[in-house]
Amino acid sequence: MLLRISLIVAIIAALAAGALSYIEVTDKIPALAKQRDEEHTIKVATMGELKQTKSELGKTKSELAQTKTELAETKSERDKAIARGDSMQKRADDLNEKLAKATRERDDAQNTLASYKATGLTPEQVVKLNKNLKDAMLEIEAINGEKSVLMRNLVKVRTQLESIIGTNSFVILPADLRGKILQVDPKWDFVILNIGEDKGVLPNGELLVSRDGKLVAKVIVRSIQKDRCIANVIPGWKLGDPVEGDEVSPAHPAT
């Protein structure tokens, strides 16, 4: 009996709770429907704004692409204008240089003409004198070359003669003989020089080695080729270590 009463009470309580729930839900339905309608309105408005924004964005992209194209064309035109300006400036500089050169040549020609007029000579006489001058310069150059060869041979013969008769204990070398050290062998104390027989170097000729105007050593020639020679450092005359590039000159130059 107690169990039945409990069941009845439970059923009644459940019905009461269901009734209350129904009443609460019934009260909330209008509010929920209103909220749904408002959210739908907002969604529709948002979708419209989004569509408009997309449309404006597409238009902006199109305008941006057109602007980029115009900018590229403008830059291209600017570069062409700069190139044309540089070309025109270069041409102007060239013309100025040619004008200056032409002006100098005109002034030189005027001075030369004035000099010719001052001499009282005819153009034919001036041409002849110029040819004679060139021929004389070529002859002088040839004579100087022969003189140089003769002087080297003379020094060589004199040295040999003095060596034979015993009047001189050292070899005389050309006074204008100048050279440089090409290589150095510090182990065996010999050097290779850039002067040889064609410059008047003679066997046993002694040369002074200098650097920055200061004496470094004295060497004696032991082997000669046409354009170079090998010389040994003379003991007792080594004030420093000879190096490549040191200058050499005769220890006993011809007077």
Neighbour tally for 194: CB within 10 Å: 15
Pairing state between β 206-211 and 190-193: unpaired
Residue 184 contacts residue 161 (beta carbons within 8 Å):
no
The pair of structure tokens assigned to 19 is 């009734």
- The rounded distance, in Å, linking the Cα atoms of 194 and 179 is 6
Q: pLDDT, tens digit, for every residue of 134-188? A: 776 777 777 666 666 666 666 556 555 555 555 456 788 888 999 999 999 988 9
Is the per-residue pLDDT at 22 higher than 60?
no
Higher pLDDT, 19 or 226: 226
Q: What is the pLDDT of residue 232?
A: 95
pTM of the model: 0.40
Residue 244 contacts residue 179 (beta carbons within 8 Å):
no
Q: pLDDT, tens digit, for every residue of 68-81? A: 888 888 788 777 77
Closest residue by Cα to residue 159 from 150, 146, 172, 148: 172
The pair of structure tokens assigned to 37 is 């309608």
As a whole number of angstroms, the longest Cα–Cα distance in the chain is 171
- Tell me the range of 2-11, 130-139, 209-218 where mean pLDDT is highest: 209-218
Residue 162 contacts residue 206 (beta carbons within 8 Å):
no
Task: Return the half-sphere exposure (C-beta side, CA atoms, 13 A cut-off) of residue 171.
Answer: 19
Residue 163 contacts residue 252 (beta carbons within 8 Å):
no
Q: What is the pLDDT of residue 63?
A: 83
Higher pLDDT, 161 or 47: 47
